[in-house]
Amino acid sequence: METPQTRTLQRALALLGGSKAGLAAALDITGDELEGYLDGTQPLPDLLFLDALDIVAGLNRKAAR
């Protein structure tokens, strides 16, 4: 099921060269967690959605934490 969250994750994935391992590392989650979020079987937590939006926007909010 396509949602704004899954579309954002797909865009972030594309911006990181299509590397699921790279996106999982950037979001500080496991590859299995990412798969669940990408396919929409698991709801994406709000903070992870914001982190994915930051990747799409070219920001690095995690580095500021």
Provide the CATH number for the domain around residue 45.
Answer: 1.10.260
Q: Report the alpha-carbon distance of residue 41 to residue 59 in Å, rounded.
A: 27
Q: Report the alpha-carbon distance of residue 30 to residue 33 in Å, rounded.
A: 5
Residue type at position 33: E
Q: Tens digits of per-residue pLDDT, 14-26?
A: 999 999 999 999 9
**Residue for token digits 């099921």?**
1
The model's pTM: 0.85
Asked, for residue 14, whether it belongs to a domain, the answer is yes
Q: Report the alpha-carbon distance of residue 40 to residue 61 in Å, rounded.
A: 24
**Which range marks the domain in which residue 12 is found?**
4-57
Asked, for residue 18, whether it belongs to a domain, the answer is yes
Number of domains in the chain: 1
Asked, for residue 65, whether it belongs to a domain, the answer is no
**Residue for token digits 């060269």?**
17
Asked, for residue 24, whether it belongs to a domain, the answer is yes
pLDDT at residue 60, as a whole number: 58
Asked, for residue 62, whether it belongs to a domain, the answer is no
Asked, for residue 63, whether it belongs to a domain, the answer is no
Q: Tens digits of per-residue pLDDT, 42-59?
A: 999 999 999 999 999 986
